[in-house]
């Protein structure tokens, strides 16, 4: 895909219910098993939350990528408002064509428009995540120290 073609046919926009099947397929492709009914419930639950946003990358009328964002207020951060990228997925056959960079740029715009001054994400430390980590560094993210702890609540 050359850049002039990309500019004409690539659209970054908020997700709509008509995108449900493609977003679900992208999540499955990325290794997150889910069903259409579960995703419909999740996405409808977040649709009217002003602190949440899901954007999709549409190429030739097909959703080929998505980014999910949420605003976070924190006592320990200097910033009043920061935005977390909770999901960033580009269809495997289109990776390396600038779609991820465009999605992150749209996320930065959304964060700024909502008064946030920092964007962050979490990523696993598995070997297979190395290409993603290289991508994050390439587009200006810095690795910070720390661990992620989680606890299942049953």
12-71 tens-digit pLDDT: 999 998 999 999 999 888 888 888 888 888 888 888 888 999 999 999 889 999 999 999
**Tens digit of pLDDT for each residue in 85-99?**
999 999 988 988 899
Phi, psi for residue 47 in degrees, rounded to 5: -55, -40
pLDDT for the residue numbered 5: 42
Residue 26 Cα to chain centre, angstroms: 11
Neighbours of 123 (CB within 10 A): 15
Which CATH architecture is the domain 3-138 placed in?
3-Layer(aba) Sandwich (3.40)
Residues 6+ apart with CB under 8 A from 50: none
Band of the pLDDT at 83, cuts 50, 70, 90?
very high
Domain boundaries, the chain: 3-138
Using DSSP, how many helices (H) and how many strands (E) does the chain show?
5, 5
**Cα 3 to Cα 10: distance, rounded to the nearest angstrom:** 10
Whole-prediction pTM value? 0.84
- In the chain the beta strands, taken as DSSP E runs, fall at 10-14, 52-59, 62-72, 82-90, 119-121
Band of the pLDDT at 76, cuts 50, 70, 90?
low
pLDDT for the residue numbered 131: 86
């Amino acid at each position: 895909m050359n850049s002039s073609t990309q500019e004409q046919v690539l659209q970054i926009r908020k997700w709509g219910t008509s995108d449900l099947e493609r977003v679900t397929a992208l999540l499955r492709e990325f290794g997150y098993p889910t069903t259409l009914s579960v995703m419909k419930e999740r996405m409808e639950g977040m649709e009217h939350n002003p602190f949440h946003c899901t954007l999709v990358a549409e190429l030739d009328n097909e959703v080929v990528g998505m980014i999910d964002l949420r605003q976070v207020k924190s006592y320990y951060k200097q910033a009043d408002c920061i935005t977390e990228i909770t999901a960033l997925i580009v269809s495997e056959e289109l990776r390396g064509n600038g779609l991820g960079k465009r999605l992150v740029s749209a996320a930065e715009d959304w964060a700024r428009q909502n008064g946030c001054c920092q964007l962050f994400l979490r990523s696993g430390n598995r070997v297979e995540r190395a290409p993603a980590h290289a991508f994050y560094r390439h587009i200006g993210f810095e690795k910070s120290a720390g661990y992620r702890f989680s606890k299942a609540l049953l």
